[in-house]
Amino acid sequence: MPSTVPSTTRHVRIRCAALLGAGLVLLTACGGGSEAKQSDKARAGYPVTLTSCGDKTRVPAPPRRAVSLDQGSTEILLSLGLADRMVGTGTWTDPVRKGLEKENAKVERLADRYPALEKVLDKEPDFVSASFLYTVGKGGVADRAKFTELGVPVYVSPTDCAGKDNAGDGDGTRTKTLTMDTVYGEIRDLARVFDVEKRGAKLIADLKSRTAKAKKSIDASDASVMYWFANSEAPYIAGCCGAPGIITRELGVKNAFADTREEWPQINWETIADRDPDVLVIGDLTRKSQSAESARQKIRFLESNPATKNLTAVKKKRYVLLSGQGLNPGIRTVDGIEQVAAGLREFGLAK
């Protein structure tokens, strides 16, 4: 459970932890003193305690120095109008969502990928959020226990753990089908933490309205869709029940790989050719960690590779391009619903 030490003291201790970890000594600040006095009166409704991916997260007061460690979480906070209470972001796969550029420019980007723990601590955070367990686990920024030890509350999106088994080296397996209700739950949690619950309700209402409009009067039940995230040698293809599954179910189409509950299994091209989907939803990523990240690279591969160039979707150029975030659970899942619906209509596959 996070520390109940007053926020000013906690910031000093976090700062000291980072400095001492670098071999530096700051006697005045690290010795405590007047900085340790409580500067804020207790606020009604606080502390807020949430269950975050199996751990209790206790937030003593509305955060003023939040760091978001995944783009999905960042875009929720920005959409809630919280840029003025954010001091850093990390782990980006795409440019920030349209409409959020000005707010995003107000917040320092600590790293395009995982920022070093010391860099995060240097911002003296009073709250850390993440979209994925591995971001605050082994191989990510730091384990949640490390932040908790320093008195920093950590919140991890329920979309990465509710009804999901993350054991093993892959992206996990869905034991229960993910729905937008879990995304809405994350928005409510973060709005409650920051004491902006009305903004959260407004954001959820907007997302629901957009979803209803996108799928209105659409019948694409005869069409099959495949979602390709990245990698050309052993492509990561969406299974039944993550964010792409939400898109599929909302629009009533068939997922060509609905028979696997793995989040992003690696499927060989021969199997993909056998299933021959009508539409390819292609991840258009700007990161550079694997082969065929951008949509342009993916399409070039599809149209030149002997195993893929005769796919129905390739021959008819039925491509729908989504950002990497559009294929991850979050507010951009609704962007995905809108874009896939538009593609189905354009291709003449929606009755």
- Least Cα distance to 179 among 233, 126, 240, 138 occurs for 240
Higher pLDDT, 48 or 24: 48
pLDDT for residue 313 is more than 80: yes
pTM: 0.86
| Of the listed ranges 23-27, 174-178, 191-195, 336-340, the one predicted with least confidence | 23-27
Q: How does residue 286 score in pLDDT terms, banded at 50, 70 and 90?
A: confident
What does the alpha-carbon distance between residue 20 and residue 279 come to, in Å, rounded to a whole number?
55
| Of the listed ranges 42-56, 83-97, 202-216, 294-308, the one predicted with least confidence | 42-56
Q: How does residue 14 score in pLDDT terms, banded at 50, 70 and 90?
A: very low
According to CATH, the topology of domain 39-207 is: Rossmann fold (3.40.50)
pLDDT of residue 346: 96
Mean pLDDT of 321-334: 94
What does the alpha-carbon distance between residue 17 and residue 333 come to, in Å, rounded to a whole number?
38
Higher pLDDT, 254 or 24: 254
In the numeric block, the tokens 């082994």 are attached to 138
pLDDT for residue 7 is more than 80: no
DSSP 114: P
pLDDT for residue 310 is more than 90: yes
pLDDT of residue 12: 41
Token pair of 200 as six digits: 């959260």
pLDDT for residue 177 is more than 50: yes
pLDDT for residue 40 is more than 60: no
What does the pLDDT look like over 127-142, one tens digit per residue?
Answer: 999 999 999 998 899 9
In the numeric block, the tokens 């809630």 are attached to 80
What does the pLDDT look like over 107-131, one tens digit per residue?
Answer: 999 999 999 999 999 999 999 999 9
- Count of CB atoms within 10 A of residue 37's CB? 9
Indicate the SS3 state at residue 186: helix
pLDDT for residue 8 is more than 80: no
Q: How does residue 238 score in pLDDT terms, banded at 50, 70 and 90?
A: very high
Start and end residues for every CATH 3.40.50.1980 domain found in the chain: 39-207, 217-346
pLDDT for residue 349 is more than 90: yes
pLDDT of residue 42: 60
pLDDT for residue 24 is more than 70: no
Angle of helix 243-251 versus helix 197-215 axis, rounded to 10: 50
Distance of CA 46 to the CA centre of its chain: 26
Token pair of 36 as six digits: 């340790």
pLDDT for residue 323 is more than 50: yes
pLDDT for residue 39 is more than 80: no
Note if the bond before 47 is cis, omega within 30 degrees.
Answer: yes
| Domain at 217-346, CATH homologous superfamily | Nitrogenase molybdenum iron protein domain (3.40.50.1980)
Mean pLDDT of 5-21: 43
What does the pLDDT look like over 41-63, one tens digit per residue?
Answer: 467 889 999 998 989 999 999 99
What does the pLDDT look like over 260-281, one tens digit per residue?
Answer: 999 999 999 999 999 999 999 9
pLDDT of residue 291: 81
- Given a contact cutoff of 8 angstroms between Cβ atoms, the answer to whether 337 and 225 are in contact is no
H-helix segments, 194-331 = 197-215, 243-251, 269-275, 295-304, 312-315
